[in-house]
Structure 1
Amino acid sequence: MQDKLISAGTIRKALLPASLSLLLAAALLSGCSQDAANEGADNAASAAAAASAQPSAEAAAEPTAAAPAEAAYPLTVTDELGHELTLEAAPQRIFAPYLEDSLAVLGVKPVAQWANNGQGQAYLQDKLAGVPLLDFNSGLPSPEVIMDLQPDLIVLHNANYAENGVYEQYSKIAPVYVFKQAAGDLDSSVTILGELIGKQEAAAEGLAAYHQKVEAAKAELAPLLDGKKALIIRFNARGMFLMGSVYGGFVLADQLGIAKSELVAAENSLELSLELLPQIDADYIFLANDTANSGETFYNELTGSTLWKSIPAVQAGQVFNVDDRYWLGGGVVAYSNVIDDVLELIAP
């Protein structure tokens, strides 16, 4: 059996058509442990959109969604750790490491972008042209480095980033907003970002379009995946791992409604050994080789083993190599790309 390879240039990328309906549903993503600076997740209060009916002279018109109110500055808010911050005007120079995906939905470029070992999030680079890389491989940048960027708003995507005096140091440079876990609830975190920087309408339209895409994909896939299970196997320098409802696994299970393997029914991540292979019960298997973190050795070990070749999904040709750059990422753009991949592979 020959695995199929998906690349960003060969799949459908119908990214986020504009929409006027504001159907914002909470999309909960459980956090999982990942290599040091490569973890991203969101959690914040969810946004609501009010719908209003517009009667006409001849007949009652269909209800239309009310446009979100633009932020008025000065704007004082409280972040998820209880810090109060005031923005005197709409921020123009934003530093929000590992939230570049959400900023892209809003059409905003930050003053610098998160990087690991000199590499930014590859799937976003077409949207981040000209944005300098800031390496997080050895931890958060020093206050001196941040000061040189001259930000007027700093957003930290998880509470860990604010520890060890970082919040206190950064808040002397610019107002700082801290999420507890930013990719845990994308509806909430994208909405909050929109409110902070005066892009509420862009946030609402981007989220509504994404949810419409999810519903359309579910309808297309439902007759093909009834009673089927899917599983993602991730490879990095530490080993092989089965992924549950996290990153690409969140899209498969929680967004598209594809049943999970029993092996990860109650887990977000489970280390995989060759001895576990006979227990794999998935009809579709997606392989995400974390190339930035040297997963090639374990990938070759798995795919070359006799036990692997005896798995029904392997024998049926239903194993696919996928792009780790967004299957292991969290955000509206990443999730939209995963949906495109699934449709291309399962419902071409």
Structure 2
Amino acid sequence: MQARDYSFIKSFKKGALVLLVFILSISLLTACGSQGETELTNQETAVPNETAASEGTETTASTRVVTDELDHEITIPTKPLKVFAPYMEDSMIVLGVNPVAQWADGKNGQLYLQDQLADVPKVNFVGGLPPAPEVVMAFEPDLIILHTAFYAENGVYEKYSKIAPTYVFKNAAGDLVSSVTKLGDLLGKGAEAEQALKDYEKKKEEAKAKLAPVAEGKKAALINFNGKGMYMIGGNYFGGYVLSHELGLGKSKLVETKNSMDVSLEIIPDIDADFIFTMNNKGTGTANMKELTDNAIWKNTPYAKAGHVYEVDDTYWTGSGLIAYGKIINDVVTLLAP
């Protein structure tokens, strides 16, 4: 029998083995590739999740909860952009913020601020009362600030708070340091508030030092004349606050415990003051001012005889902010200690 040649079988086995190794290698590479793609896909999917978490944190930090001076707990924007704060425009300007609308009496805003608020719409406070909610709503404020609790009365707060978070001061004009500090906090302008108050404090102390030789131990009264009559402004508001609280001048006993007091010829002898400051409210009090100052009773008072009666500008003597207070201080120093 002829012997068979099995060499081709050996060659076949050897080739098959090489093919098998090749196939296994390809499989392993494919598996590794798939695993890498899976890991990459997972990594790519995680990025949006991290972004979403970050966005969620920002959303939470975009608001915060504060309590106003009437104990309303409100959620306000961390950085309010459209603020309606009637009669606090002075302090807002100091902090570098323009309001979305400004307080006005008739067609006029606070005249001493109009060079900086010329382009800001005016909102009329008819009879000193806050405007209707729909008027305020038209300006789309994201924060409303009321400088006195009086503005929040008669359901105004409830209506305004439906428009935007509404913060109420009891009397922002009664403690300017506190109200400017709080306003800076509400508007995210704490550093600006701190610097403005430092500058004002320096100005006030310099004025007190200059006034001391002529005004120490003396009293001052502020009388406002308008079309209806005349009244003395106490030491809790406007120029009266500057005279008594900021510059240290004493108050007449007639307004020691009152915000105001009607003035008539009968009470003139009871006005215990060394200096009298008078205001002609928007020019409406001219007749009443003349009637009083032309009277013999007035002319015989110690302050009138000494020439210590001074007419001042009502536009900022009835203001309540650092700009107004600074102007009032300038007037007092110029008039009493030139």
Q: TM-score, normalised on structure 2?
A: 0.76
Instruction: Output the CA distance in 2 between the equivalents of 1:317 and 1:114.
Output: 36
Instruction: Output the CA distance in 2 between the equivalents of 1:267 and 1:169.
Output: 31
Q: Structure 2 matches for 1:186-225, cutoff 5 A?
A: 186-225=176-215
Report the equivalent of 1:279.
270
What stretches of structure 1 of length at least 5 have no aligned partner? Answer: 1-71
Which one has a larger percent helix, Structure 1 or Structure 2?
2
Question: In structure 2, which of residues 240, 245, 248 is the aligned counterpart of residue 249 of structure 1?
Answer: 240
The answer to whether 1:105 aligns with 2:94 is: yes
Report the equivalent of 1:49.
none
Give the superposition deviation at 1:132. 0.9
Instruction: Output the CA distance in 2 between the equivalents of 1:99 and 1:190.
Output: 9
Give aligned-pair identity as a percent.
55
Give the superposition deviation at 1:160. 2.6
Aligned length: 276
Report the equivalent of 2:282.
291
Instruction: Output the CA distance in 1 between the equivalents of 2:143 and 2:174.
Output: 22
Instruction: Output the CA distance in 1 between the equivalents of 2:151 and 2:65.
Output: 22
Secondary structure, in 3 states, of the residue corresponding to 1:92? coil
Letter in 1 for 2:87: Y
Give the superposition deviation at 1:301. 0.9
Instruction: Output the CA distance in 2 between the equivalents of 1:235 and 1:195.
Output: 37
Letter in 1 for 2:109: G
Question: In structure 2, which of residues 302, 311, 319 is the aligned counterpart of residue 329 of structure 1?
Answer: 319
Instruction: Output the CA distance in 2 between the equivalents of 1:261 and 1:171.
Output: 40
Instruction: Output the CA distance in 1 between the equivalents of 2:148 and 2:252.
Output: 29
| C-alpha distance 270-172 of structure 1, shift in aligned 2 (>3 A) | closer
Secondary structure, in 3 states, of the residue corresponding to 2:117? coil
Asked if the contact 1:117/1:137 (under 8 Å) is kept, the reply is yes
Report the equivalent of 2:155.
165
TM-superposition CA deviations, 1:161-204 (whole Å, max 9, x none): 22333223222222211222222222222111111111001111
**Higher Cα radius of gyration:** 2
Q: TM-score, normalised on structure 1?
A: 0.74
| C-alpha distance 204-239 of structure 1, shift in aligned 2 (>3 A) | same
- CA RMSD in angstroms comes to 1.9
Secondary structure, in 3 states, of the residue corresponding to 2:144? strand
Give the superposition deviation at 1:284. 1.6
Instruction: Output the CA distance in 1 between the equivalents of 2:73 and 2:86.
Output: 20
| C-alpha distance 93-347 of structure 1, shift in aligned 2 (>3 A) | same
Report the equivalent of 1:313.
303
| C-alpha distance 310-141 of structure 1, shift in aligned 2 (>3 A) | same
Asked if the contact 2:317/2:328 (under 8 Å) is kept, the reply is yes
The answer to whether 1:116 aligns with 2:113 is: no
Letter in 1 for 2:162: K
Instruction: Output the CA distance in 2 between the equivalents of 1:226 and 1:340.
Output: 17
Instruction: Output the CA distance in 1 between the equivalents of 2:163 and 2:109.
Output: 24
Asked if the contact 2:148/2:169 (under 8 Å) is kept, the reply is yes
Report the equivalent of 2:65.
76
Asked if the contact 1:115/1:134 (under 8 Å) is kept, the reply is yes
Report the equivalent of 1:152.
142
What stretches of structure 2 of length at least 5 have no aligned partner? Answer: 1-60
Instruction: Output the CA distance in 2 between the equivalents of 1:322 and 1:85.
Output: 40
Instruction: Output the CA distance in 1 between the equivalents of 2:303 and 2:213.
Output: 19
Which of the pair has the greater relative contact order for Cα pairs under 8 Å at 6+ separation? Answer: 1
